[in-house]
Structure 1
Amino acid sequence: MTFKLSIAFYFAATLILFAQSDQRTAMTLEECISLAIENNLDLKATKLTKETWDVNFKQNKNALLPNVNGSYNLGVANGRSIDPFTNGIVNQEFTFSNAALGLDVVAFNGFRLINRWKQVRLNLKSAEMEVEADKQSLILNVTLTYLRVLNAQDLVKLAESRLKTTQGQLDRLRSLYEEETGNPAEYHDLQGQMALDAANIIESKNVLETELINLNTLTNIEESITVAPLNIELDVEMYGYTAQDVFEQALQVFPTIKARDLSLEASEKAIAVARSHYVPEISLFANLNTNYSSAARLFNESGTSIVGTNDFVTINNQEYSIFTQQTNFTSDHIAYRDQFDNNLNSSIGVSVSVPIFNGFRAKNNVALEKIKREEAQTALAQIKLDLKQSIKQSYNAMLTAYERYKLLQNQVDAYNESFRINEIRFNNGVSNSVDYIISKNNMDNAQTNLANVNYEYALRVRILEYYRGNM
């Protein structure tokens, strides 16, 4: 009864897993890679960093252009204030306005702007290489995960094939058992083997589900996916490059190496930028200004008149008042545009700023940038060392997988023949169930190991090709 319940549970679990698989969308390797490049969050974050450097590059490039600024204001003044037209003190309400245009050009500052622009340009290129490195790494991870899914699928098929073989033998022994002509122990041994094979299928399917989840995570889509068969032959042929060949080529094409090289070049430009604070800064400037005041007036001659002077003369003891001729004027408002034209003034000149003492800020900045350069050199050396070690490890793992594949091929052939003989002997009642089960397990394990090492070799070759820039 317990055995029947276990088998029933297995078939129920298998139906559930198959139902889940049917709801998935089958995708090719190329489709998975395309989705991962489009949706992967880590790659998006790297791209945003690159876009930030792109904006910084444009900003520093535009800093080489002259600065042109204009200003304009309009207001009302009350009480005691200075008339912008006459610069005299007035105590009245008037409207004022002024406009200005200024030009400022850095003629020389120790090539600070140019070197900073070059520094940011190198950092931008480094960020672009980081994007490419993350992209290639993502492609590799998707490819490896895809191959692991295919491997898990093959292992599920192997496990199901084992179960089918065991089921056939169990059906044969059940007939003998029910007729009470067979060995009951052999029947129960096959029942136990049947349960073991069913458990192996569940475990294999669990591994497959885990790898599919990993692939789903890399592609970052809500829809559950499965994989389509890979249209390549997993033939195991000896890899045509040495570890040193792979390393030397990786130094030329590996994006992470290029990114670190560019960062080192950028640190050299940062030192030049810091040193520019030792030299004077020479700038050219030009300004154009004008203003308006509603208090400004234009006085025009409007005729003459005779007015008393409060003085007098005495003639023959008779006083006579003195009159004089006075020119009369009328006060007219000066138009806004006329005042802007009349009050126009300009200036042009050269400005020199000489660093005399700034608390050793320039010296300390240079020292800090030199430390950053050494950090960049150390980072480059470290990544080359790590790259060399990783290539050696992958190469050795590839060689090991290749040798194991050749050996396991012979083992599979031997155990297949052994199982064929033992199955015939068992069917004819010459051998017992123990010999049959041992022979079957040996064959199954050999086939599983061969399938694993086949994909292991393919994975290691893909990794080495990734280092060579072939993704």
Structure 2
Amino acid sequence: MNLKSSILILIILCPFLSRSQQDSVVLNLDQCITLALKNNPDLKSRKLNSESATVNFKQSRNELLPNLSGNFSAGITNGRSIDPYSNDVIEQQLNYSNAGLNLNVTVFDGFRLLNQLKRDKLNIKAAEAEVQEARQNLILDVTMAYLGILNAEDLLQLSKIRRLNTQRQLDRLQKLNEEGNANPAEFNNIKGQFSADENSVIDAENNLKQSVSQLALLLNIDYKVFPEAYHSLEVYEKYNLSAERVFKEAVENLATFKAREFRIEAAEKQVKIARSNYYPQVGLFAQLNTNYSSTARTFTENGSEIVETGSYIQYNGQSLPVLANQIQYSSADITFLDQFSNNLNSGAGVSISIPIFNGFRAKNNVELQKINLKQSKIELESTKNQFRQRIIQVHADMETAYRQWQNLEEQVDAYQESFRINEIRYNAGASTIVDYIVSKNSLDQSRINLANAKFQYLLRVKVMEYYRGNIETGT
């Protein structure tokens, strides 16, 4: 192997080698969405359903064409049988074969084939809409999981800041304790608070791991994904659209409702297909057949001779044999190709099948398809009701989260000022460790509540935009 080949192989393997040395990667939201759309197995399954619908449509279209079939058979018989060439009864070994072509054309079938074609075309549209529905749902799930990681990172960062503040006080009291100037109760209280803060960091780290695993599951990858760069969650101004406005846009834009509507139209065609069994079936047919027999012969006259017939006449008291002139023939086998050419026969005609009584199968099938149609319409109405309820609930939760977010900002400012004063007073010996810890915990908890409120508000804004059909662009 020359040097150039070795370098080329290293260049190709380099990304895989570097990948094997790490189990995580940093991606932005758009990259995560792209990866999910490529790898997610549920979306792949929906795409396969769409491909199946396309194949079914092609088959329905092809059924409008005539049916042409050919047949060929060959065999050997021994003993008593019918010669297919002469229709004589023979007792010898017989080699035979038959061949034929059959053509059938449907002229009228109660418009069954046409309605099948229309139904399967609607099924294609429904399947494509369901792929789009799965795509939209996946994008929403990835977006929520991605934001969940950001929220988990925010909470982890707050937990670390909380632990750091306690660490500073613990270090100060540790030094005083070593000098013999610390209050043992205060020193143990701050140690206990540090342990509690340490547990909060551990919990936050575990929540972050779970959020990362959830995103990796959606992306169908075996490594961890982290946001492109750490940053606080983006915030929005107050959402101004009403729940009714969002629901109206959802019905107009979401692929979920388009898929249900296409399924209803396909069910209507299925009712018409069932009704076609009430009508006569008219068709044209034609056929071409031939055969071969190993006993087939041709006979050629090659002269004559006088032979006794076996009869006698009496003449002058004598029995005289009766003679006759018998023509002599020579025989020859007829070749396979000659027989197939000579034995050709054809036929054509019209076939009509009129339904008279079939045990009410046609009637009951129509009733079943009507029930399926009603069920499809009910599913659409049920889906609308579910979405309306969800949108109303999400909208109410969003407004609640926004109000909580605004209130918590004021609360954080108030607790931050309170903690600043209590910290100064405690360091100066003017307050107790209990006052300090209570003030610190109140500030830390309000910061966590504020981060959660921002996340809950942002999450519901994303959901509302999904319902409007804007999840892919985020606008």
- The match for 1:359 is 359
- The aligned counterpart of 2:239 is 239
Distance 2:204 2:425 in 1: 30
Q: What is the match of residue 204 of structure 2?
A: 204
Q: Which letter maps to 1:246?
A: V
Aligned to 1:85: 85
* Superposition pairs of residues 64-213 of structure 1, within 5 angstroms: 64-213=64-213
Task: State how far apart, in whole Å, the 2-side matches of 1:145 and 1:428 are.
Answer: 46
Query: 2:270–2:369: 8 Å Cα contact kept in structure 1?
Result: yes
Question: In the alignment, residue 447 of structure 1 is paired with which amino acid?
Answer: R
Offset of residue 426 of structure 1: 2.2
- Equivalent residue for 1:18? none
Aligned to 2:297: 297
SS at match of 1:326: strand
The TM-score with structure 2 as length reference comes to: 0.89
CA-to-partner distance for each residue in 1:349-399, whole Å, 9 max, x for gaps? Answer: 000000001111111111111111111111111100111111111111111
Residue 284 of structure 1 corresponds to 284
**What is the CA–CA distance in structure 1 between the aligned matches of 2:280 and 2:314, rounded to whole Å?**
79
Rounded Cα–Cα distance in structure 1 between residues aligned with 2:311 and 2:406: 137
Q: CA–CA distance in 1 between the matches of 2:315 and 2:164? A: 155
CA distance in 2, matches of 1:193, 1:319: 149
Report if the CA contact (8 A) 1:150-1:229 is conserved. no
Return the alpha-carbon distance in structure 2 between the equivalents of residues 22 and 400 of structure 1: 42
Letter aligned with residue 236 of structure 1: Y
CA gap of 1:317–1:171, structure 2 versus 1, over 3 A, is closer
8 A contact 1:29–1:230 mirrored in 2: no
- AA aligned to 2:268 is E
Question: 1:179 deviation in Å?
Answer: 2.1
Shift of 1:210: 2.0
Corresponding residue of 1:3: none
CA separation in 2, counterparts of 1:307 and 1:376?
A: 91
Is the contact made by 1:24 and 1:223 (CA closer than 8 Å) also made in structure 2? yes
Letter of the 2:234 partner, please give it.
L
2:49 alignment partner AA: T
Going from structure 1 to structure 2, the CA distance change for 1:428 and 1:36 (only over 3 Å counts) comes to: same
Counterpart of 1:10? none
CA contact (8 A) 2:151 2:233 kept: no
Counterpart position of 2:8: none
**Aligned counterparts, 1:431-470, within 5 A:** 431-470=431-470
Query: Contact (CA 8 Å) 2:36, 2:138: kept in 1 or not?
Result: yes
Q: Using the alignment, how far apart are the partners of 1:258 and 1:320 within structure 2?
A: 105
Q: Identity across aligned pairs (percent)?
A: 47
Gaps of 5+ in 1: 1-20
Which moved further from structure 2: 38-47 or 348-357? 38-47
User: Secondary structure of the equivalent of 1:381?
Assistant: helix
Range moving further from structure 2, 285-294 or 161-170: 161-170
1:155 aligned partner, one-letter code: L
Q: Which stretch shows the higher mean deviation, 237-246 or 150-159? A: 237-246
Report SS of the residue matched to 1:358: coil
Partner of 2:3: none
Shift in Å at residue 230 of structure 1? 7.1
Alignment of 1:378-393 (within 5 A): 378-393=378-393
Q: Distance in 2 between matches of 1:244 and 1:209?
A: 38
The residue aligned with 1:41 is: 41
Change (3 A) 1:404 1:87: same
Mapped contact 2:154–2:232 kept (Cα < 8 A): no
Q: Is the 8 A contact 2:233 2:455 kept in 1?
A: no
Output one character per residue of 1:234-261: Cα deviation in whole Å (capped at 9) or x when no partner.
0221224221221111111111111111
Residues 405, 453 of structure 1: 8 Å contact kept: yes
- Residues 28, 230 of structure 1: 8 Å contact kept: no
**For the Cα contact (< 8 Å) 1:418–1:439, is it kept in 2?**
yes
Q: Which moved more, 1:329-338 or 1:182-191?
A: 182-191
Distance 1:382 1:318, change over 3 A: closer
Q: Normalization by structure 1: what TM-score?
A: 0.89
Deviations 1:69-115 (A, max 9, x none): 10011111211111111122111112111101001111101101111
Which amino acid is 2:178 matched to?
Answer: E
Cα deviations by residue, 1:174-221 (Å, 9 ceiling, x for unpaired): 222222334333322222221111111111112222222222222232
Kindly report which structure 2 residues correspond to 1:241-260, keeping only aligned pairs within 5 A, or say none: 241-260=241-260
* Distance of 1:319 and 1:459 partners within structure 2: 128
